[in-house]
Chain A
């Protein structure tokens, strides 16, 4: 891998393989014409076509040429490299050759899908020609192999974090679980009976957290947060701070006394309280191989005046109502809150969710939650059913935009609500209900007025005793972790996976995985699915004892480098480039040195080196120049 490595084989044997993509390419590109032209490019020894180059026969074509020694560099012209670059690299590997002697030309997305006729054929030819120019200068590379520590760290002690920690431990991996609060169970602890099964949140958390606490290979740290982060997949180092959290601890102890609860028990609407916070602040570091982020969500807090929230005391949120219902001991056929009979109760859906630019105002920070929070419809119907079945004298009105009860057993909640004679009123986004004080003589304190789409746009007014705002989910603020770990965040502020369908729990930072609602609104079942998936991906990374990183990193030519240090200054990832002392020709000099595991392969160093002494493997300046020369050459498309 050093710069002195000569290209071991004669680079004049480039194989070009052009794909029809079953018409996707060949309907607009004259593939045979591209082949004829490619064959004439200097260095190309064979040019072949196939209906589907990614098919087994297509791949076999390439492998056979490699095995026969007909070619020693491969160019495939087909779809986007994100789709099949790996396919062809692994075909080369299976033919017993180095997979990095490969270059990909995208003549589908970049050509046939956007150009037509002769021009399409010409552009395809140029892209193929450029790829062959680069291929001639490719050298075999080896992936960077780093030893991986068989240890995982889970950040967040809610259901996602607990599930991931337990799954990793079951796989034989030591786990550190870091939870910010003194409790385990996260936002699930803010619930009571969970839809659609009717399970108690307390039981679910006690069960799962109990398993985690009893597992010797999981070290649980409450009142702890990650302060420092360094390293790379397989070898991360985290600085953790445990806070004594004096005030918090006192509150909890005060809460514990009257309830007779002791550490180790579940405290309703707080979580499982394993042990008191530490007496004083502590700091320690964790060396770990993978990190699972399970930082969760928080419930949307309505702004002052949103549907009267904060102005009218009879306007509360759904989490608040759930807590009131759970703690309410008053018997009777009508729900009573603070001594007041709740005869009519209005629930307004989609508060803080599904907002539309131009229709709804942004919050102070300019955020607008355009996403659906997904779980609130079921939670609302579940609560409405509990109320109607426990307090038949309390009537429930639901003001909704759409009812989205996806998932097994959840549409049934809607039917159950219909049977329970819950009254549904539907509004369009631009016609949100209005909540106001009731000035009429009847004794209902509030009125909810809405243009009801189900009554053909007639104005309908409901006199009510209580308005419940069905608040959605927002991601917890983890900006410190995001900055430290350089994690991508979506426009919705949830953490962003690599690919929503094919790689749903991986982040673009290798070795950091997603679990649960830090990624998107999810219910508890989906959260566990995501957490288990994250745990499996984490375990898979550690299973071999080492990790392999792509070799597309910077490399210094020690003969040209004269130690200006410009590259070190330009480097975007601290630790990737250093000036070190070394002996060259008997003289002590300072030279740039790359730490491959830290290098992002961005090329910032290449741009600033006055001596052209640094390059990115697989993307060298010479390779770029050769590609550009080919594109501007008049010979290829003659």
Chain B
């Protein structure tokens, strides 16, 4: 499957919360510290935001609801990209998209 880059998605997401995903430099600290979920969470989601891979976010949206918002990722992020807050924004975006669909 091919993911398409869509730089306009960042703008679309602004409506749902603070957009700090572009600060991320993909170090993976957030995924390492996350106590609940393996499989590169929340790093992969943030990467999808950077690319604007909307479809991939929606396909994997269930992952978002396993997050308990403990805040460890936000605390440890070296770029202050605030992954916890970005995940919340994504939840709002997904809910909004579901409602419309």
Say whether, besides A418-B23, A454-B26, A455-B47, A423 and B1 are in contact (CB < 8 Å). Answer: no
Interface residues as binary, B35-60 with A (CB distance below 8 Å gives 1, 0 otherwise): 00000100010011011010000000
Most buried by A among B1, B25, B51, B53: B51
Interface residues as binary, A379-421 with B (CB distance below 8 Å gives 1, 0 otherwise): 0000000000000000101000000000000000000001101
- Residues of A within 8 Å of B62, CB to CB, are none
**A305-B4 Cα distance, complex, nearest whole Å:** 24
Say whether, besides A418-B22, A419-B23, A461 and B47 are in contact (CB < 8 Å). Answer: no
**Is B44 a contact of A456 with CB atoms below 8 Å?**
yes
Interface residues as binary, A575-591 with B (CB distance below 8 Å gives 1, 0 otherwise): 00000000000000000
B10: CB under 8 A from chain A? yes
B7: CB under 8 A from chain A? yes
A459: CB under 8 A from chain B? yes
**Is A461 a contact of B26 with CB atoms below 8 Å?**
no
B5: CB under 8 A from chain A? yes
A410-445: which residues lie under 8 A (CB-CB) from chain B?
418-419, 421, 423-426
A449: CB under 8 A from chain B? yes
A216: CB under 8 A from chain B? no
A475: CB under 8 A from chain B? no
| Interface SS of B by simple majority | mixed
- Residues of B within 8 Å of A449, CB to CB, are 2
**Is A455 a contact of B2 with CB atoms below 8 Å?**
no
A463: CB under 8 A from chain B? yes
Nearest residue (CB) in A for B7 is A395
Contact partner, B40, options A456, A459, A460, A463, Cβ 8 Å: A456
**Is A423 a contact of B51 with CB atoms below 8 Å?**
yes
**A395-B26 Cα distance, complex, nearest whole Å:** 20
**A425-B47 Cα distance, complex, nearest whole Å:** 10
Minimum Cβ distance to chain A for residue B2 (Å) = 5
Q: Give the interface residue-count category, chain A.
A: 20 to 34
**Is A423 a contact of B7 with CB atoms below 8 Å?**
yes
- Residues of B within 8 Å of A455, CB to CB, are 3, 44, 47-48, 51, 53
**A539-B101 Cα distance, complex, nearest whole Å:** 78
**Is A461 a contact of B7 with CB atoms below 8 Å?**
no
**Is B2 a contact of A463 with CB atoms below 8 Å?**
no
**Is B2 a contact of A460 with CB atoms below 8 Å?**
yes
- Residues of A within 8 Å of B40, CB to CB, are 456
Nearest residue (CB) in B for A454 is B26
- Residues of A within 8 Å of B2, CB to CB, are 449, 459-461
**Is A462 a contact of B26 with CB atoms below 8 Å?**
no
Nearest residue (CB) in B for A458 is B3
**A430-B22 Cα distance, complex, nearest whole Å:** 27
A212-245: which residues lie under 8 A (CB-CB) from chain B?
none
**Is A460 a contact of B5 with CB atoms below 8 Å?**
yes
**A7-B22 Cα distance, complex, nearest whole Å:** 79
**A448-B44 Cα distance, complex, nearest whole Å:** 21
The number of A-B residue pairs with CB atoms under 8 Å apart is 56
**A419-B23 Cα distance, complex, nearest whole Å:** 6
- Residues of B within 8 Å of A452, CB to CB, are 3, 51
- Residues of A within 8 Å of B48, CB to CB, are 455
Contact partner, B3, options A344, A419, A424, A460, Cβ 8 Å: A460
- Residues of A within 8 Å of B26, CB to CB, are 426, 454
**Is B22 a contact of A421 with CB atoms below 8 Å?**
yes
**A456-B50 Cα distance, complex, nearest whole Å:** 14
**Is A462 a contact of B4 with CB atoms below 8 Å?**
yes
Minimum Cβ distance to chain A for residue B51 (Å) = 6
Most buried by B among A397, A421, A426, A463: A421
**Is B1 a contact of A461 with CB atoms below 8 Å?**
no
Nearest residue (CB) in A for B40 is A456
**Is B22 a contact of A397 with CB atoms below 8 Å?**
no
Contact partner, B1, options A425, A426, A459, Cβ 8 Å: A459
**A449-B2 Cα distance, complex, nearest whole Å:** 9
Say whether, besides A459-B1, A461-B4, A454 and B47 are in contact (CB < 8 Å). Answer: yes
Say whether, besides A344-B7, A397-B5, A449-B2, A460 and B23 are in contact (CB < 8 Å). Answer: no
**A423-B51 Cα distance, complex, nearest whole Å:** 7
**A103-B29 Cα distance, complex, nearest whole Å:** 59
- Residues of A within 8 Å of B25, CB to CB, are 418, 424
**A395-B2 Cα distance, complex, nearest whole Å:** 20
B4-36: which residues lie under 8 A (CB-CB) from chain A?
4-5, 7, 10, 22-23, 25-26
Say whether, besides A418-B22, A418-B25, A455-B44, A461 and B3 are in contact (CB < 8 Å). Answer: yes
**A455-B10 Cα distance, complex, nearest whole Å:** 17
- Residues of A within 8 Å of B53, CB to CB, are 455, 460
Nearest residue (CB) in A for B21 is A421
Minimum Cβ distance to chain B for residue A293 (Å) = 40
Say whether, besides A421-B10, A423-B51, A459 and B3 are in contact (CB < 8 Å). Answer: yes
Nearest residue (CB) in A for B81 is A418
Minimum Cβ distance to chain A for residue B96 (Å) = 22
Contact partner, A463, options B4, B44, B51, Cβ 8 Å: B4
Nearest residue (CB) in A for B50 is A423
**A449-B48 Cα distance, complex, nearest whole Å:** 16
- Residues of B within 8 Å of A425, CB to CB, are 5, 51
- Residues of B within 8 Å of A421, CB to CB, are 7, 10, 22
**Is B5 a contact of A463 with CB atoms below 8 Å?**
yes
Say whether, besides A418-B25, A423-B50, A455-B51, A461 and B5 are in contact (CB < 8 Å). Answer: yes
**A421-B6 Cα distance, complex, nearest whole Å:** 12
Minimum Cβ distance to chain B for residue A440 (Å) = 10
- Residues of B within 8 Å of A461, CB to CB, are 2-5
**A430-B3 Cα distance, complex, nearest whole Å:** 20
- Residues of A within 8 Å of B79, CB to CB, are 418
Minimum Cβ distance to chain B for residue A374 (Å) = 21
**A426-B50 Cα distance, complex, nearest whole Å:** 13
Nearest residue (CB) in A for B25 is A418
**A359-B3 Cα distance, complex, nearest whole Å:** 26
**A419-B26 Cα distance, complex, nearest whole Å:** 15
- Residues of A within 8 Å of B44, CB to CB, are 455-456
- Residues of A within 8 Å of B47, CB to CB, are 454-455
Minimum Cβ distance to chain A for residue B34 (Å) = 16
Minimum Cβ distance to chain B for residue A389 (Å) = 15
Known: A421-B7, A449-B2, A462-B4. 7 other contacts (CB 8 A): A455-B44, A455-B51, A460-B2, A461-B2, A461-B4, A461-B5, A463-B5
Q: List 22 A-B residue pairs with CB atoms under 8 Å apart, sorted by A's residue number.
A: A395-B7, A418-B23, A418-B25, A419-B23, A421-B22, A423-B22, A423-B50, A424-B25, A452-B51, A455-B44, A455-B48, A455-B51, A455-B53, A456-B44, A459-B1, A459-B2, A460-B2, A460-B4, A460-B5, A461-B3, A462-B5, A463-B4
Interface residues of B (CB under 8 A from A): 1-5, 7, 10, 22-23, 25-26, 40, 44, 47-48, 50-51, 53, 79
